Structure 1
Amino acid sequence: MSQADIQEIELDIEQAKALIEKDDALTRLSQNPDFQKVIQEGYLKGEAVRLVHLKADPNMQQPDMQSDIANQITGIGCLFNYLKVIEMQAQHARFAMDEHQQTLNELMMEEGAE
């Protein structure tokens, strides 16, 4: 393998590290009582339930109101999805980083032997 291949693997490792660091930050954040209260409980759960009930409210059946409620529900789903994607990307990055690190070590040993 060439020096370019080694550099590409090193870049892959750095990108994996960045994803893992982001997940670590999310883990710390999710353990924060204020984040739990405001975002996890207040927004992702409480606000979602409130909006679903509001969507069924007979006084909120005008098309513009229904559209606004639906958009807010979608926003909650988007935030939830964003947080889950961070976790999934980090999980994949941890696995890939191990493989990349092993490949890099093998390449370094080959270059040392040459």
Structure 2
Amino acid sequence: MQKRKTTMQLAQLVVNTGGCGPLVELLSEGAGGSRVPACMALGYIAGQSDQLAMAVIEAKAVVILVEILQNNECEDAELCAAAWTLGHIAKHSPQHSLAVAVANALPRLLQVSNEHY
């Protein structure tokens, strides 16, 4: 149980120190291979608790994640990371799911899923 508490504390530390904003900037830049690690970090943070997921939403990550999904030039790793992160954001409550749905992520998520399976 100590490990879970520690990971939650680390995610909270990133949020408390303003780390979500720079991670979202890395997502939007997408240069130098930084997009997938930034995306995974945001998903990891969002997956820890509903409050941390809300912080990721408030950092405007959902809009950028949907843009990644809708970009036909993105690599498969970027699409998978964006879908994974959106799932970790949406899983907590109807309010979290609504933030993903309002950003129009669902049609593209379905399309990507059907293309790869």
TM-score (norm 2): 0.28
Structure with higher RCO (Cα < 8 A, 6+ apart): 1
TM-score w.r.t. length of structure 1? 0.29
* Greater radius of gyration (CA): 1
